[in-house]
Amino acid sequence: MKIIQEKWAEIHKQPVISFTMINDNGMEVTCINYGCIITKIVTPDKNGNYENVVLGFEHFPPYITNTPYFGAVIGRVAGRIQNACFELDGKTYTLCKNENNNHLHGGVKGLHRVLWDAVAVENEGEVGVRFSYTSPDGEEGYPGTVQVQVTYMLNNQNELVISYNARSDKSTLLNLTNHTYFNLSGNIKRDILDHELKIKSDQFLELNEELIPTGIFLDVTDTPFDLRKGKKLKDGIMANHPQIELVGQGYDHPFLLNAHHDEEIVLWDPGSGRTLTVETDEVGVV
């Protein structure tokens, strides 16, 4: 196993460093210290051809704006906060409005748009990168100085393990995630409509017209959201259902995971034979 690091670009006269983790099977994961962005994941298909299975940009400049949030760590709060404000401990905090009247994915200067400190990590059977960033009190309107640490580790089981740790000096909101887009066909040869998705979830959250959860849990039974036995994406996102149509024919909903923390989410591409399995210690997934 090994990890390669090199200067990829510059921003604000500071280096943007690219880290490529390579395991003994030839799987590669490349990430950068700007936004902790995962720029590439290279894995073999059923015929042994190694190809990239995530979306991103070939060069750095588009990542500066990165409207789709390709591959980035999202925070302080992933998702939307209605009216860009919240109440905590009897005090109302006003946040940056960056999607109409709402606050999305941490604001204009979310964690996806900052340069993180980064160090390579090499342990027995795994290599990775540890990123750290201190978000100052009041950044994008959030209370508290928050020290955030995100670690990516690649092992020889072809697992990419993402760990999040944070400490704040005040009560605050924090809801971190990674925003990587996958296309398992490899090098985006095909769309993902024939990918099959399985999620162990009996319920999902209803969204309003601004794509903000209403707090109402809906049963997945007899809906396109019933992914418990697996479903081709085209059979779900092309369905005639008000919640599917609300997001422009797709899924952008929180699924409440059943109480089983193993192979909760599985995405399979029959064409390439690649499978992505996602496990989490959280109660839900979007």
219 assigned to a ligand binding site = no
**C-alpha 248 chain-centroid distance:** 20
The per-residue pLDDT for 259 is: 72
CA distance 41 to 50: 10
pTM beyond 0.75: the answer is: yes
Which CATH number does the domain 2-78+105-178 belong to among 2.60.40.420, 2.70.98.10, 3.40.50.450, 3.40.50.1110? 2.70.98.10
**Residues contacting 271, CB < 8 A, separation 6+:** 185, 190, 194
**Residues contacting 40, CB < 8 A, separation 6+:** 20, 28, 29, 30, 52, 54, 56
CA distance 50 to 64: 28
The per-residue pLDDT for 175 is: 97
94 assigned to a ligand binding site = no
142 assigned to a ligand binding site = no
235 assigned to a ligand binding site = no
pLDDT one digit per residue (tens) for the chain, 286 residues: 999 999 999 999 999 999 999 999 999 999 999 999 999 999 999 999 999 999 999 999 999 989 999 999 999 999 999 999 999 999 999 999 999 999 999 999 999 999 999 999 999 999 999 999 999 999 999 999 999 999 999 999 999 999 999 999 999 999 999 999 999 999 999 999 999 999 999 999 999 999 999 999 999 999 999 999 999 999 999 999 999 999 999 999 999 999 766 668 999 999 999 999 999 999 999 9
Q: Where are the domains of the chain?
A: 2-78+105-178, 196-285
**Any idea which residue has 């051809």 for tokens?**
49
- Contact status, residue 21 vs residue 29, Cβ threshold 8 Å: yes
